[in-house]
Amino acid sequence: METHILIISVLLVALGFLVKAFPMLIAGYNNLNPKERAQVDIKGLSSLMRNALVIMGVAILLGTYLFERLGMSMVANAIYPLTIFGGAIIMVLLAQRFNHNHTTTKFTRTRIARWVVSGLMAATIAVIIVLGILPHKTIINPHYLEIKGMYGVKLYYQGMQAVELADDIPKITKRTNGFSMGGINKGHFKLQDIGEGRLYLRSLSPPFVVISDYKDRKVYLNFKNSEETTQLYNAIMEALEKQNRP
């Protein structure tokens, strides 16, 4: 299990108990005036927030561990974002019953609309995250290497200047148009001493397949399994040999 999952789980549980002890940490409640706060069942709200955050933290930790043990890495990677965004939506919906400030039909319609918009935004973000953490697929075609998935691309063999298997990559300095979570990096990034480069990384651990074109633009690619990365490198080299390339 990656360290960031453990850290996130512990932080969620700790935040749950902090919110219960210090209700002013609750977003929205701390912006109300004293009269409006008096209409909020803060004991019930803080208890809800504590229970929800603790459950989310434990669910992420146990869910990730369980599915990794079962060899279902794709599901394990999806546990974190789905739990965060799903839990947030549920908390927002349940928290409304503790706020007794407004009861008019107009407010109810506005509140429902806000829930719908928030839900759609959260769902969109969740989909982006799920697509981002899904493993990329590589297909060796007769004339090009195809990387399928988010920020997918076709890399034609005739445009490849060099292909190597490296033990390290330059430091990532900036994400310009890509997805990044833990060791997963996909898309366009700026790299130290290199400039712009494309990354399709499932891990920051070696080895890495490095593909350079004639303009010295770099593509870095690997999988969580080092053997799979090595197999891809060998497959690309075989494809280049068939193109009568050195």
Tell me, what DSSP letter sits at residue 188?
E
Domains and CATH numbers, the chain: 3-133 (no CATH), 137-242 (2.30.29.30)
Inter-CA distances, 216 with 44, 163, 231, Å: 60, 11, 24
Specify the pLDDT at position 180: 85
Q: Give the model confidence (pLDDT) of 188-216 as tens digits.
A: 899 998 889 999 999 989 999 999 998 88
Inter-CA distances, 150 with 127, 142, 222, Å: 11, 22, 15
Specify the pLDDT at position 124: 60
Specify the pLDDT at position 27: 65
Where does 70-139 have alpha helices with state H? 73-95, 105-133
Global confidence as pTM: 0.55
Q: Give the model confidence (pLDDT) of 37-66 as tens digits.
A: 788 788 888 898 889 889 988 998 998 888
Specify the pLDDT at position 211: 96
Nearest in space to 128 (alpha carbons), one of 71, 184, 209: 184
Where does the chain have alpha helices with state H? 3-21, 34-37, 42-69, 73-95, 105-133, 226-242
With contact defined as beta carbons under 8 Å apart, do 185 and 135 qualify?
A: no
Q: Which residues of the chain have pLDDT under 70?
A: 1-4, 27-31, 71-74, 77, 102-124, 126-127, 244-246
With contact defined as beta carbons under 8 Å apart, do 79 and 59 qualify?
A: yes
Which two tokens mark 60?
């992420």
Specify the pLDDT at position 136: 87
